[in-house]
Structure 1
Amino acid sequence: MKGNLKKNFVCGGVSYNAIITLPDFFEPKPQTIHSCHYNETIGNTGAGKALALSKLGFHTTFHTLFGADEYTNKVKLYLNQPNLDVLYVIDPNGTERHLNILNSKGERISIFTNPSSENPLIEYKQYRKKIEASDYVVINISNYCRNFLPMCKELNKEVWTDLHDYDGSNSYHQDFIDASDYIFFSSENIKGYKSFMVQMIEVGKKLVVCTHGGNGATIYPKKKEWIYEPDLLDFALINSNGAGDSFFSGFLYAYSNGKIIQECMKFGAIAGALCVNSGELVSENLNKNILETNYLEYYQI
């Protein structure tokens, strides 16, 4: 069965997160908060994309960092999924951990309580065959992942990346920008996001997608036409963690199946909506049949 599946190589972070959900963010003053919703679960953008893509029928190889600590076993339980092969290096800093504070609008404050190592010792050449055999290569912006980029170029592999809350000038992101053919990012911290999108197409990118939190997403492809897709509002907001990764994965699912760009955006919107309607990083209900059924229900009336 696996031989018939499209293959992905995804590299990026995985973390074990503590999540606090409040009606509103608290004021920056000393205080005691007596009531909140609290849970612990897997997080991070590498894991979010790897899990979502594997649920959507891709045979996914996920490269990441684990710590030699108690959190690793917890993370491994979440990653023990069909179609998902996990390759990892032990990070001397330990498993990455975040404290995420969410409000009822889906906004987030993320605190890295234990960040991963910037440059762990990795023999990158051993993953060459995995990348070469992949139909799609997704390089997330964990610092160690930038060292996969020269290999992707050498193998003539197109790179998909997600710049997240890129501000338009942070030099940290430049290697990923230069090496990528397909770019996703958020409008949260960038002024004039459309100018950045136009610039990227002018330097040769295949397409650029900008997500707007709870306000939909915009794409600018090589045809140089603006396409906006609103969010699906019929899904109650429970937890916004991972919504961008699910949007990315729904888009790539449709793209890999030859859908036109407008349809890809709609499949991304469905996957993102399923995510925010779940308390987990990736919806327990996500699969390609659910995507196709929801597409017919919401867009083929």
Structure 2
Amino acid sequence: MGVKSKKIFVCGGVSYNAVITLPEFFKPKPQTIHFCEYNETIGNTGAGKALSLSKLGFETLLHTLIGADDYGNKVKSYLNQPNLEVVYEVDPKGTERHLNLLNSKGERISIFTNPNSENPIIDYEQYKRRIKSSDLVVINISNYCRNFIPVCKALNKDIWTDLHDYDGINIYHQDFIDASDYIFFSSENIKDYKLFMVQMIQAGKKLVVCTHANNGATAYTQKKEWIYEPALLDFEFVNSNGAGDSFFSGFLFAYSQGKTIHECMKYATIAGALCVNTNELVSENLNKRKLETIYLEYYQI
């Protein structure tokens, strides 16, 4: 008998993005740029996590906002995947859109050309049953998602969140920080990421993980153990779009199987490496067998 798939509830944004990849960011002066890579595809952290989690075998429920427009139809087509159920509210502002500028270092500048509605009218209580039946709950930092926090807390559900490029002081993130039990974030904009990680564990968080793009990732545990995992740099770099979400999902894949944090960081690193090897939000090669194969290749002695 096979192991039963874990159920996971993901709340987060979905967008249809224009992605421009450059060798390096241009200097702030008038100019014409002739050479770049351009792609239009689904984006945003709700989509990135839901797609990668479903590819790794989780029974995934994504709650999101989608506009009643052509971009929304494209997004729904992308999200029509095995193991993924999408429940969405129609956003009167239309489907969220971003312009993402990426460089060869894995850095990103995101311009929200059409943000989603910050406080749509939603009956959050109707999702109690679905959240209660989930083994894991991921609350992303789209503004409307903070309204799911009281529902999760009433059900005594642990919350996983991703603060992305949090700078250490932006009050926008505070509700998500206070509510979450497991925190992921990037060291990109924060002055002292290790200090923040220590503060979070002291505040009662169960785990904090910080990613450093192509410089790897660091975890800090309740046992006050630092775990650093270097990036896998053997994979051809295409762009970094979605790599953090795939890293997150790779970690959860291993965590849900009872792996150690050391092992989880390695699986996460593999998933992130697969993502930077594609133009899409999630690698078409991402699956459980692929993760296990690469794990054996790189980490088994």
Q: Report the Cα offset of residue 3 of structure 1.
A: 9.9
Q: What amino acid maps onto 1:253 in structure 2?
A: F
CA contact (8 A) 1:49 1:249 kept: yes
Determine helix, strand or coil for the equivalent of 1:85.
strand
How is 1:269-280 mapped onto 2 (pairs within 5 angstroms)? Answer: 269-280=269-280
Q: Alpha-carbon deviations, 1:41-70, whole Å to 9, x = none? A: 000001000000000000000000000111
Alpha-carbon separation, structure 1, partners of 2:214 and 2:294: 19
Q: Report the Cα offset of residue 154 of structure 1.
A: 0.3
Identify the residue that residue 220 of structure 2 maps to in structure 1: 220
Identify the residue that residue 142 of structure 1 maps to in structure 2: 142
Assess, with a 3 A threshold, how the Cα gap between structure 1 residues 19 and 63 changes in structure 2: closer, same or farther: same
Identify the residue that residue 199 of structure 2 maps to in structure 1: 199
Identity within the alignment, %: 78
What's the TM-score once normalised by structure 2's chain length?
0.98
Q: Alpha-carbon deviations, 1:219-275, whole Å to 9, x = none? A: 001110111000001101101000000000000000000001100000000000000
Q: Report the Cα offset of residue 106 of structure 1.
A: 1.8
Q: What amino acid maps onto 2:37 in structure 1?
A: H
Q: What amino acid maps onto 1:224 in structure 2?
A: K
Alpha-carbon separation, structure 2, partners of 1:63 and 1:134: 13
1:184 aligns with 2:184: yes
Q: What amino acid maps onto 2:136 in structure 1?
A: Y
Identify the residue that residue 77 of structure 1 maps to in structure 2: 77
How is 1:287-298 mapped onto 2 (pairs within 5 angstroms)? Answer: 287-298=287-298
Alpha-carbon separation, structure 1, partners of 2:3 and 2:132: 15
Q: Report the Cα offset of residue 81 of structure 1.
A: 0.4
Determine helix, strand or coil for the equivalent of 1:34.
coil
Stretches of structure 1 that go unaligned for 5 or more consecutive residues are none
Alpha-carbon separation, structure 2, partners of 1:131 and 1:173: 22
What's the TM-score once normalised by structure 1's chain length?
0.98
Identify the residue that residue 49 of structure 2 maps to in structure 1: 49
Q: Report the Cα offset of residue 108 of structure 1.
A: 1.2
Q: Report the Cα offset of residue 2 of structure 1.
A: 11
Assess, with a 3 A threshold, how the Cα gap between structure 1 residues 2 and 95 changes in structure 2: closer, same or farther: farther
Alpha-carbon separation, structure 1, partners of 2:65 and 2:46: 10
Q: Alpha-carbon deviations, 1:194-237, whole Å to 9, x = none? A: 11111111111100000011100000011101110000011011
Q: Alpha-carbon deviations, 1:125-168, whole Å to 9, x = none? A: 11111100000000000000000001100000000000011111
CA contact (8 A) 1:141 1:162 kept: yes
CA contact (8 A) 1:14 1:65 kept: yes
How many residues are matched?
301
Identify the residue that residue 254 of structure 1 maps to in structure 2: 254
Q: Report the Cα offset of residue 4 of structure 1.
A: 2.7
Alpha-carbon separation, structure 2, partners of 1:158 and 1:25: 39
1:114 aligns with 2:76: no
Stretches of structure 2 that go unaligned for 5 or more consecutive residues are none
Alpha-carbon separation, structure 1, partners of 2:44 and 2:245: 9
Alpha-carbon separation, structure 1, partners of 2:263 and 2:224: 17
